[in-house]
Chain A
């Protein structure tokens, strides 16, 4: 993180102003200061770029009424006291006009971050001071080697200030970044991809990435056409991250309790306590996980199926979602925790899959495979059937044939239909867990994952995709 590059905004005074202005019984104020810088390229040249600054203020007002507490949630861009006043008046009015909320719970009280008084952290175009020249050099190397690069780097720093009339003064700095690059042969007939998450770009090496892409494109010199069918398939950590994020997102307690997800025990109840996957599997989140650190408290600008404004400031701790193959928790608010008779286990912004006893790398999985497929990443993943959490999607940017423990060529792409819950039941081998970056969801939604590579003996490739 670097020195501020933007006109100064004082989030703490915006919070204080809102709490002094509200006429509601209680009030929660969330200020998010976001700076970001990005570079995008295609055809070995830069295409778009940007340096952005946003300040987003959410005000949640709480009003005691006959029969309960009603709430009003209003958010907007605001950098001045006058702009915050407008939001507070609107939130107060919305709360007064609303019916009592179903998720009423006591507000969290008196938690203070030691760094509350610190200014927002920020980023700017200078975060790429060493990456940008290396990128320029990578474009040149690619051009000389008959390859074409397409990609994107993004770095964001969001500083969240959460204050309340009940004594909350919580601050969290979240750096989020990634480097991703697609390489193609000059005739565009072969495609490869490399992607990695980063917090600060000190660990990103565009020239090494270019070399990786060159190696993968070279694997494609032998092209093998295969039909649809079930294949012994090695999913790299990126693809496993894609699938686990879906398994996590669809793990809301309310939908499960009300009979609408793979985690439901119908007519009313959840599968918590049931062994749903291989007993070696552990799926968990931990705000303190090294390298994947994320907010250790709940921030909710509005209530919903999986969020409650009453839970703002609630401590988030290490949570096992699946342990020893058994479903142990679902994402839930204190409201749904009451419905389900479980502890309140709120959503955490990272996800870790571990397989007990697994060691080695994806290379070891390849070396141990007699005949199978090695994937690069997955794409356009959508839910087909919530009953089994059946997902559909494509393979993308490199499907490789493994024969006798070695990569012997590149195969066409496939459309697949699979359930992540089922895959965790059927996999035969796993590597050690490593930091990973989801191709499908990492850019905009969920970039903090650590996952192993998994080998699945009968992955369902439903049809061939001619896409290259």
Chain B
């Protein structure tokens, strides 16, 4: 396990936490927690071999959250003094006092064991913030140079977002947790034009909770990706348009992860199912009364939630309410059996996880209140399941979908539409070249019900996003989704040029 960053541990969080929790207790809070964070970001963007953006952005601050008179109160500050810690605690109490007037259901938290001064650090080899910016930029410059050697490539972009998150959490039960994790979000994209068209092709690497080694071949074959893309783009620019209709789809994990994210991940957030997001992110068709009975998909469908997978982007030791992280079933043999919870929902629905939260509380900054955020939600492979070629071999007339691109789903997570980086025609069990302008459109339970086969562990990959959005005020989050290549029968394919009325 890498060490905690000494420039973080030098910050005065223990003292400020003691002052804030002491003041909140004095003022009568029945629960109080203190969260101090330092979040480091670096964004590098190279366009056509020129470093266009190099932005370092750090955020340091702390928050006090209380339960007082049965209501939440939350306040945050950035001035790292005892006086300010006291003032923020007082503000949280004052906010709870205002909130109590409008809170009709008193806040109660599911119990959690006390963790006295524990430390957790994510699994990585090279801290990206220890690598010189010039060295990092040089790698991206080289990527765009390599992409531009292709005749079809007019312009190329390479981007890497880097995250280092340090959190200190302490609450009035005596839990004290100090944590550190790393995230890398890289991609490169080539753009080109044909006779009457333009298009792009992007690398397939996913964001990962790995160190800089994610960029240098430890977990993704960048050389293969960068070598293939110019030719793949050239082929796409010349490809025939897809004929709209119904097709069998073989979907690669680099595309399917996003469909899982939108149609299962968000749909099984219990706060959405309970309506907390009704004014913003939306609700869920998978309402609580359907627990244990909703046929989410085919019986071969098994989906888990976890915050423990190594290198998972939602992986952490303890959540932002001091709950130790776990893994659990969400869909078992095609049936809805679980949700993602925080402590207040864990208390509300004791039958779900023995009266305990499953550790999904997260705040993206010291200035935001923790809410229930997505775990790594993953579709399990079949233990001795088929490989991708065998799945393609089972399709007479269909499409093989690789890489994510455009995405949209409705506020109850029924109707979705996705495009991809490339759609290959499948004819008589063989790939028969790319087609353009395809999008697949379906309703969640029909889509997962049409899943005929999941691939074996050899096809399983971890995809994910660094830009998942939720809540008001808006918060971002990183999350991973594992899945095998899978086969779906009879899915509606649109031609997007026709959709545009051309």
Contact = CB atoms under 8 A, between A and B. Distances in A.
B172 interface: no
B441 A50 contact: no
A174 interface: no
A72 interface: yes
B410 A394 contact: yes
A381 to B, nearest CB: 7
Interface string B465-493: 00000001110000000000000000010
B484 to A, nearest CB: 26
Interface stretch (A93-101, A113-121, A218-226): A93-101
B433 interface: no
A152 B499 contact: no
Contacts of A41: 102
B374 to A, nearest CB: 16
A394 B499 contact: no
A99 B419 CA distance: 37
B51 interface: yes
Interface in B372-395: none
B496 interface: yes
A77 B101 contact: no
B417 interface: yes
A392 interface: yes
A90 B55 CA distance: 11
A17 interface: no
Interface string B410-435: 11111101010000000000000000
Contacts of A193: 279
Contacts of B496: 384-385, 390, 417
A102 B410 contact: no
Nearest to A385: B496
Contacts of A462: 417, 441, 494, 499
Given A53-B78, A393-B408, A267 B494 contact: no
A379 interface: yes
Given A7-B83, A465-B415, A50 B76 contact: yes
Interface string A426-468: 0000000000000000011000000000000000101111111
Contacts of B443: 466
A102 B50 contact: yes
A184 interface: yes
B155 interface: yes
Given A77-B58, A102-B50, A139-B104, A50 B369 contact: yes
A150 B87 CA distance: 30
A394 B441 CA distance: 13
Given A182-B279, A302-B54, A303-B52, A467 B102 contact: no
Interface stretch (A258-266, A283-291, A339-347): A258-266
A415 B441 contact: yes
B124 interface: no
B151 interface: no
Contacts of A259: 154-155, 191, 193, 198
A382 B258 CA distance: 14
Contacts of B76: 50-54
A154 interface: yes
Contact of B52 (A55, A102, A267): A102
Nearest to B105: A45
Interface in B346-388: 367-369, 371
A388 interface: yes
B193 to A, nearest CB: 5
> Residue among B87, B191, B279 with the most chain A CB within 10 A?
B279
Contacts of A388: 497, 500, 502
B185 interface: no
Interface stretch (A19-27, A32-40, A320-328): A32-40
A258 B500 contact: no
A75 interface: yes
A46 B71 CA distance: 8
A301 B198 CA distance: 31
B99 A39 contact: yes
Interface in A40-72: 40-56, 72
Interface in B214-261: none
B101 A136 contact: yes
11 contacts: A6-B79, A7-B81, A7-B87, A43-B274, A49-B98, A73-B56, A98-B133, A128-B98, A385-B437, A396-B411, A422-B500
